Structure 1
Amino acid sequence: MRVWIVFLLCLAGHAMAAPAEEEPALEELVTEEPAEEVEVGANPVQVEVGEFDEAIEVVEDAAENPCLNHRCKKGKVCEVDDTNTPMCVCQDPSSCPAAEGEFEHICGNDNKTYDSSCHFFATKCALEGTKKGHKLHLDYIGSCKLIEPCLDNELTEFPLRMRDWLKNVLVTLYARDEDNNLLTEKQKLRVKKIYENEKRLEAGDHSLDLLARDFQKNYNMYIFPVHWQFGQLDQHPADGYLTHSELAPLRAPLIPMEHCTTRFFEECDADKDKYIALEEWAACFGIKEQDVDKDLVI
């Protein structure tokens, strides 16, 4: 997912204020280049290697292997039936590649650690149609551990750091984007105003008081970053609402670092309908109702 790549690219370039209980800061989320994600259920062209100096690539015809052009969602793989028709079936977790290290571990909301995302989604697929399978979601990246409860005063601090982080993620993207692969031209025009503003608070380890004062003084700088992040997450489908799965690329890596993440997003869903609308999202970050603009999401 593009948003996932974008966030991993930028996290190392922005320093955040340390949380109250000495939690790791948001920018510590990634300290090395992430491994390229291999889509679960992919059916790559095989390469046969004989007693030759070079491998011989075997190019398969889609007519011979209909699965070549048949995509399956995570947790499923393509197989053909008796009529050579491709279909998606649940992947056997035992067929998943062995995890290369603990960094591939996934914690489910069942408080169980899965070796990798492949193992998790294959397990979830096997439970399709059951109450347990419906409730099972990816909770966060990493092995399951004790997540301290988020206190009320800590909950009010979380959006201060998050807003500042989003603003500086965009500034970092703007500074690195030479080929418009990270931001569109319209987005770059909006971020340029933030980037060139002399009043912009530079990325760094700032106190919560300073972050709060900056939000009041330079409120307009935060409006677009909040809308931009909503648009990056609202992809499947792009309907103006964020589901639990759409939030996953943002919340899953944050939870081990910021223990208020889960409670924050739960309370963003003000009407408790399991969807976060743009208006609810903006309100969570302190954006005034009159400044909510769906055109900024695109």
Structure 2
Amino acid sequence: MRSLLQLMMIIGLIGSILITEGYAERRRNKQRRRTTTTEVAYEKDMNILGDEELNDEAAASSSEENDSVLRMDPCMDKHCGAGKICKTNGAGNAGCVCIDNCNEESDPRRKVCTNHNVTFGSDCEVYQARCFCDSGDSRCRSPEFQHVHIEYYGECRQMPSCKEEDLIDFPRRMRDWLFNIMRDLADRHELPSHYLKMQREAETNMTLRWTNSAIWKWCDLDGHPHDRTVSRHELFPIRAPLMALEHCIAPFLNNCDADNDHKITLKEWGKCLQLDEDDLDDKCDELAEAANAQ
């Protein structure tokens, strides 16, 4: 009996030891898992931080490279007109020079007819020819090409003559056309916001209907340089699309340049459209500031 009791006590002691060891082992495993998870999370965080640092370094490097390019290439901020490209001289200064070669165009629709009734292969060739003559280049074809400009796209063709009675009525038709274009652009939400006020005024005031649309188009045509005049070349957006429909557009616009200096002032533009000079207000600077503020 005593032996049996001793045996049971020994078995109980061994079981207690095993339970204690099992519990301790579970705690050690749990601690190892917690430690491993913490290490993985730490390593992941460090990788993320490392990636962010690399991205920041790459962005900084890219920014430095862009700044370096801007510093190395003076032509980045140089604007050259049509027919010209920017080149740097030996001193590293940027300047505009005439384009040496224009791409050869195979599409006959790319041909253009000039005010001298001469067909050129492309608009690039017209601007190049004008640049050669304007800069005194030996490649100038003729002194008259110093003021050559595009009349319309396509090969030159015989245009109907403009009758005197048609030319007399043309200013009225031109005023109507300018106002309708301005209104259509507003309806299609394509009119810049700084012109919308002028368009709304023109809808309710007959006098402003003509003057506002005239001022809008004159300011719109006065591109680069913004010199408060519209050159014959800057009239191209009006002349070219209307040539096939309005055979009086060319003589009408020619008459607008009253002093034949190849530039049309707002006063000349208003007189050409038979508008009262007192009703014309040069708003181009004001409109340009509004456009830049947007």
What aligned pairs does 1:58-207 form with structure 2 within 5 A after superposition? 61-62=69-70, 66-82=74-90, 85-93=93-101, 96-99=102-105, 101-127=107-133, 128-129=135-136, 131-177=143-189, 182-185=191-194, 187-195=195-203
What aligned pairs does 1:243-254 form with structure 2 within 5 A after superposition? 243-254=231-242
* Structure 1 residues not aligned, in runs of 5+: 1-58, 201-217
**TM superposition score normalised by structure 2:** 0.61
For the Cα contact (< 8 Å) 2:84–2:99, is it kept in 1? yes
Q: 2:245 aligns with which of 250, 253, 257?
A: 257
Amino acid of the structure 2 residue aligned with 1:103? R
For the Cα contact (< 8 Å) 2:131–2:146, is it kept in 1? no
Q: 1:89 to 1:288 in 2, by over 3 A?
A: closer
Q: 1:288 aligns with which of 255, 269, 276?
A: 276
* Structure 2 residues not aligned, in runs of 5+: 1-65, 288-294
Query: In 1, Cα distance between the equivalents of 2:226 and 2:91?
Result: 36
Amino acid of the structure 2 residue aligned with 1:183? P
SS of aligned partner of 1:169? helix
For the Cα contact (< 8 Å) 2:130–2:147, is it kept in 1? no
For the Cα contact (< 8 Å) 1:140–1:251, is it kept in 2? yes
SS of aligned partner of 2:274? coil
Pick the structure with more helix per residue. Answer: 2
What aligned pairs does 1:35-74 form with structure 2 within 5 A after superposition? 61-62=69-70, 66-74=74-82
Query: In 2, Cα distance between the equivalents of 1:151 and 1:163?
Result: 19
1:115, CA displacement in angstroms?
A: 1.9
1:87, CA displacement in angstroms?
A: 4.1
What aligned pairs does 1:207-246 form with structure 2 within 5 A after superposition? 218-246=206-234
For the Cα contact (< 8 Å) 1:76–1:90, is it kept in 2? yes
SS of aligned partner of 2:130? helix
Query: In 1, Cα distance between the equivalents of 2:185 and 2:218?
Result: 16
For the Cα contact (< 8 Å) 1:236–1:246, is it kept in 2? no
How many residue pairs get aligned? The number is 215
For the Cα contact (< 8 Å) 2:112–2:156, is it kept in 1? yes
Q: 1:100 to 1:69 in 2, by over 3 A?
A: farther
1:153-207 Cα shifts (integer Å, max 9, x gaps):
0102322322122111111222222xxx73234x312322445x5xx9xxxxxxx
Q: Provide the residue aligned with 1:47 in structure 2.
A: none
For the Cα contact (< 8 Å) 1:80–1:87, is it kept in 2? yes
1:112-145 Cα shifts (integer Å, max 9, x gaps):
2122112222233333326244243333332211
Q: 1:277 to 1:91 in 2, by over 3 A?
A: closer
Q: Provide the residue aligned with 2:46 in structure 1.
A: none
For the Cα contact (< 8 Å) 1:104–1:142, is it kept in 2? yes
SS of aligned partner of 2:69? coil
Query: In 2, Cα distance between the equivalents of 1:78 and 1:173?
Result: 35
Query: In 1, Cα distance between the equivalents of 2:147 and 2:162?
Result: 23
